[in-house]
Amino acid sequence: MPETMQADYVIIGAGSAGCAMAYRLSEAGKSVIVIEHGGSDAGPFINMPGALSYPMNMRRYDWGLKSEPEPHLNNRRMIVPRGKVIGGSSSINGMIYVRGHALDFDHWRDQGAAGWGYADVLPYYKRLENWHGGPHGGDPSWRGADGPLHVSRGKRDNPLVRAFVEAGAQAGYQLTDDYNGEKQEGFGPYDATIHNGRRWSAASAYLRPALKRPNCTLIRALAHRVVIEEGRATGVEVTHKGRTRTINARAEVIVAASAINSPKILMLSGIGPAAHLAEHGIDVAADRPGVGQNLQDHLELYIQQAATQPVSLFRYWSLMGKAYVGARWLLTGTGPGASNQFESAGFIRSKAGVQYPDIQYHFLPIAVRYDGSVAAEGHGFQAHVGPMRSKSRGEVTLGGARPEDQPKIRFNYMSHPEDWEDFRTCIRLTREIFGQDAFAPFRGKEISPGEDVQSDADLDAFIREEVESAYHPCGTCRIGAPDDPGAVVDPECRVIGVDGLRVADSSIFPRITNGNLNAPSIMTGEKAADHILGRHLPPENAQPWVHPEWDVRQR
């Protein structure tokens, strides 16, 4: 790294949005420097989809963050995996690809994010996708065919995977052959960011091609703060190989460091709630009370059932079984290791009067936890289930004024009374689905919560002890109208009150979207790049499917 390092655009974070912006800005002829603290994404644990439980638990690839004690969850400190690696969290996530429901984005627009309605974001989803839907993939006119991000489907050859969708239909729910197309509501196959049996992260899709251009550079360094001179962002102060350096931006600095680290970097730069910055001795460059506020996430439970036939993935859970899976994948790129094993999806509404799905299912043909511990019963299956639109809100605040100080993360999970009602509903609806005839050949006893856990009080105790994050933090630098005192960025992703500075990642989401957040994070990077370049794709007025009797029927 030379003494003076500069580019037109300096991006903090080589994650989902940062990689997309590096690709689009360099494609347009702009010079770009991407700052990333993490290292290489090489190695089988990241690249083998079936090994997904490993990288998010490895300090080499993860920031190692934890929440503050959560008062409504027995004061548990929840782990908050965030990718500290090329590709960011797209390199350690579950690889599930969910755009979000069309009405999520219309809600963003109606809350002040002008130009971010579904009609506006759909063209960007199409631009980013290279969709391999297969013969039963729904209507390709809703999808993209030649974008950088490969999106595919698993083989779905496990009988439990097919039984889950069949059981959903037997319970009276819709079926959907493409929840990312016209119709999200229902049961059907999952899309995944997997290509030729390997994880297809934002680094694979965007950053590596961008780095082949002479105008895009990656610098491994820890970003301290944005340098602001006379109200304008001019560069980024970093630690690089033990030295404090400044990387200068001729045009703009773009923060894309995650819903946890983006507000932290803004606050260390003097942008945030003035009183909080003063507590840490930080001079105020812009008093933005919304920085770090509006933190949201998805929580989920595992509803686990024993299997009476040896059809689950448990047969690979021995040392020899794992060796077989790993060797087959390394040699041929095929087998169980080539899938994330989340191959069947469900998006349903919790009750009549809910306009679009507010519960998501991830089905898994084994009874296992994210930490890799398997149920003692052996063969089994599970559904991860949780509400999509909790009203609980948390915050990210500074844990200290030094860049190496971890932020304080308070999700305030389950602080709204409706959360408890929603989760009890999730458990009872899942039991009903598992009770359908499609599961009759396989259904053993209920492992978790257990058949004796029935009353509201017992269910609440189970929720309090067992609920886990789905690792979808967002909302801490939310987008809004320029005159909205709680907004951090305007609809062009420009930080309100500072020139030459933008934020573009999941932190700008006004409200969490339906499903996993990787796809909308990449879309945000794609769309922000066009705002930076002063262009936009024309909107598409496609009409998504909404249940015609949503106001009077739950299914």
| Average pLDDT per 10 consecutive residues for the chain, totaling 555 residues | 81 98 98 97 93 89 96 97 96 97 98 98 98 82 96 95 98 98 97 97 98 97 97 97 96 98 98 98 97 98 96 91 94 95 97 98 89 77 98 98 97 98 98 98 96 98 97 98 97 98 98 98 98 98 96 97
Q: Is residue 398 in a domain?
A: no
What CATH number did the domain enclosing 443 receive? Answer: 3.30.410.40
- CA 161/CA 183 separation, integer angstroms: 20
Burial (CB < 10 A; 0-12, 13-18, 19+), residue 47, is: buried
- CA 227/CA 94 separation, integer angstroms: 35
pLDDT at 1 (0 to 100) = 56
**Does residue 115 share a domain with residue 213?**
yes
Domain count, the chain: 2
Cis amide bond preceding 538, omega within 30: no
Contact 236, 34 (CB under 8 A): no
136 is catalytic: no
Q: Is residue 555 in a domain?
A: no
If we measure between CA atoms, which residue out of 295, 306, 257, 345 comes closest to residue 469? Answer: 295
Task: Specify the DSSP element, H or E, that contains 66.
Answer: strand 65-66
**Does residue 84 share a domain with residue 49?**
yes
Q: Is residue 124 in a domain?
A: yes
- CA 403/CA 400 separation, integer angstroms: 8
What is the crossing angle of helices 118-128 and 102-110, to 10°? Answer: 130
What residues does 479 pair with on adjacent strands? 489
**Does residue 358 share a domain with residue 214?**
no
**Does residue 90 share a domain with residue 160?**
no
**Does residue 164 share a domain with residue 288?**
no
Residue with tokens 């996530």: 93
Q: Is residue 409 in a domain?
A: no
Q: Is residue 439 in a domain?
A: yes
Angle at 548 between CA 543 and CA 553, to 5 degrees: 140
Q: Is residue 141 in a domain?
A: no
**Does residue 377 share a domain with residue 286?**
no
Q: Is 348 helix (H, G, I), strand (E, B) or coil?
A: strand
**Does residue 260 share a domain with residue 220?**
yes
How far is C-alpha 497 from the chain's CA centre?
28
What residues does 129 pair with on adjacent strands? 149
- CA 97/CA 83 separation, integer angstroms: 17
Non-local CB neighbours of 524 within 8 Å, separated by 6+ positions = 17, 493, 504, 505, 506, 508, 509
Q: Is residue 408 in a domain?
A: no
pLDDT at 318 (0 to 100) = 87
Domain with 448 in it: 155-189+299-387+415-466
Q: What is the DSSP letter of 205?
A: I
Q: Which of 224, 379, 472, 547 is catalytic?
A: 472
**Does residue 163 share a domain with residue 41?**
no
What CATH number did the domain enclosing 494 receive? Answer: 3.50.50.60
The pTM for the full model equals 0.97
Contact 508, 484 (CB under 8 A): no
**Does residue 205 share a domain with residue 96?**
yes
pLDDT at 56 (0 to 100) = 86
What does R_g of the chain's alpha carbons equal in angstroms? 23
pLDDT at 374 (0 to 100) = 73
> Is 552 annotated in some ligand binding site?
no
**Does residue 289 share a domain with residue 370?**
no
404: number of Cβ within 10 Å: 9
Q: Is residue 329 in a domain?
A: yes
**Does residue 11 share a domain with residue 67?**
yes
**Does residue 334 share a domain with residue 230?**
no
- CA 79/CA 381 separation, integer angstroms: 24
